[in-house]
Chains A and B, each alone.
Chain A
Amino acid sequence: MPPCCAGPGHSVRIAPTEDLTPKCQAEKVGWFTKTKESIVPSNLWTKCQKCEEAIYSKDLAKAAWVCPKCSHHFRISVHDRIELLLDERSWQELNAHIKTADPLKFHALTSYDERVKKAVQKTSANEAISTGLGTLEGFPLAVGIFNFDFMGGSMGSAVGEKIVRLVDEAIRLRRPLLIVSCSGGARMDEGVLSLMQMVKTSQAIARLSRERLPFLSMLTDPTTGGVTASFAMLGDVILAEPGALIGFAGPRVIEQTIKETLPEGFQRAEFLLETGLIDMIVSRKDCRATLAKLLRFFSAPAHHAPHAEGPSNGSDVSTAF
């Protein structure tokens, strides 16, 4: 089976990121049973998905959801990502009202409509990306953050439209663009319209590029399918979180095709860095400082050679010219 731009080709792991309510913390722990389950109650402790260390959830949250033992980067919520990257109270969300429709009246085992309703309930968001404006170390930015909990961060018409409008704002306000991707790819339930969002969003990046505004693309675990094969790989600088799964075809699909088990670390960020597909891997604790450094570079006034004919019309941004 050829790969597609749609759907999660990997197992979904959900990091227990929220709900550290006092009620949960006050729950009695059955120490006497000494079973793994009883030592790691649902929310007070979190087990690292990689090294299986039980970590006190409060400590984990303080460490930006990075395992203190093995540095595994847990998947984090949009809210946590904003807190991690942006200056306090600088986030201003845009177009949160844009919702997915059901253009195909799609029905598999359940209807698309029902699946969307469930995702909205689960995430309190209308779509798989939050877009907005904010500042990072004082640098104004247009920011998009994918929400994996919303149907695997998949890209349908609404996600595509939100990205395009975000780029509109970036151009209008002359701001750099940062998109933090976390997505299984194009959303199958919207069929070929989802596929066309690859074109729609890549063209938005083309416009941004012509305006000489930087696009910083940050890939987190996982970024696959039609998201990778469109705007996400078109960053002027592409950053990735350690260990993030990044690729076009999902590992399961590849294994089915070649009928072999993939080597350890295949399609992980470290592997992509080695093969020259991304610029750098940035750990969560360093990412804000790194982004600030990049923004300092891109925000400096442009150098104009004496023979340059005034402001550029962007005609040399693509080698296609």
Chain B
Amino acid sequence: METYSNLTPWQTTQLARHPRRPLTLDYIGNCFEDFVELRGGRQWPDDNSVVAGLALFHKEPVVVVGHQKGRDTKENIFRNFGMPHPEGYRKALRVMKLANKFRRPIITFIDTPGAYPGMEAEERGQAEAIARNIMEMTFLKVPIIVVVIGEGGSGGAVALGVGDAVLMLEHAIYSVISPEGCASILWRDPSKAEEAALALKLTARDLLELKVIDELIEEPLGGAHRDFHATASRVSAAIARHLEPLKELPSEELFQRRLEKYRRMGVYTEDLQ
């Protein structure tokens, strides 16, 4: 028991990436009913690292969007290890706009190592696609609940991560850069990833303290993969708890609250000297 309550940030990172950790489609299968997947961003080949669709949540229609990793090599190649190209973000946005049009709440699941650093992704404007999603999600007139279930990797995570409530599983991580990336830049030594993981403050408890997330969802002993049904029911309950009051809010109030929420993020000083 103590082992799991005293995990180092680097151990948490390993757990967040654990091959048996529940993935977006597992949550969709367990917390939702009647899922209908919608494919394609309408401009490029479909991006399988992002899944999106319509579903029922507690009998009510909602839209679900999330990054999708694979469980083995074959699946991971199909899912590009959960690293989207711009068309993945654009598909997500298309389906989220559908939610907006028909006034359905949106639930997003975050689980990506990050945006895919390839030539095509750059050519098709991944920076623009991420920026566009952030702005458009801000404008959406329906409640958005974000759940960080595994890896919240940088811009690729943020592109699906703007919401009214951001929830995070106990052993998930969320960071501006991977510990390995940070180590190779700031320490000039990728083997310093463990130190970087500590310095980056990327665990759910850190993020709660930094006021970046609204709720930490505790995982069963040993991690989410040890008892998936228990994890899924906790996730489901947390989503429902945050969604209920948001459903009552007029869209303009949602918009204003979304602005205030993110405006408060950050720490700086104002020294008039």
Contact = CB atoms under 8 A, between A and B. Distances in A.
Interface of A: 1-8, 97-101, 103-104, 106-109, 156-158, 160-161, 164, 186, 188-200, 202-203, 205-207, 209, 225-226, 228-234, 247-249, 253-254, 256-258, 262, 266-267, 275-277, 318-321
Given A191-B202, A226-B176, A248-B155, A253 B139 contact: no
A266 B118 CA distance: 12
A25 to B, nearest CB: 35
B7 interface: no
A169 to B, nearest CB: 15
Contacts of B124: 275
27 contacts: A2-B153, A3-B115, A4-B114, A4-B181, A4-B182, A5-B155, A8-B185, A99-B270, A101-B267, A106-B199, A158-B268, A160-B266, A189-B186, A192-B202, A192-B207, A193-B267, A195-B154, A195-B175, A199-B138, A200-B262, A203-B134, A203-B138, A203-B262, A229-B130, A230-B131, A248-B127, A275-B123
Contacts of B187: 108-109
B263 A254 contact: no
A275 B120 CA distance: 11
B: interface residue count bin: 35 or more
A197 B180 CA distance: 22
B154 A4 contact: yes
B53 interface: no
Q: Which of B124, B134, B177, B188 has the most CB of A within 10 A?
A: B177
A109 B182 CA distance: 12
B79 to A, nearest CB: 14
A7 B131 contact: no
A225 B113 CA distance: 15
Contacts of A319: 97, 136
B135 A1 contact: no
A233 B131 contact: yes
A161 B97 contact: no
A256 to B, nearest CB: 8
Contact of A321 (B114, B139, B161, B267): B139
Contacts of A160: 266
A101 B270 CA distance: 9
A267 B134 CA distance: 22
Contacts of B273: 97
Nearest to B131: A233
Contacts of B35: none
A198 B155 contact: yes
Contacts of A225: 155
Contacts of A266: 119, 122
Contacts of B263: 164, 200, 203
Given A196-B212, A203-B258, A248 B138 contact: no
A202 B117 contact: no
A65 B97 CA distance: 46
B266 to A, nearest CB: 3
A203 B266 CA distance: 14
B184 interface: yes
Given A6-B185, A258-B119, 11 more contacts: A3-B117, A3-B154, A4-B155, A4-B182, A5-B158, A103-B267, A106-B199, A192-B212, A198-B158, A229-B131, A233-B127
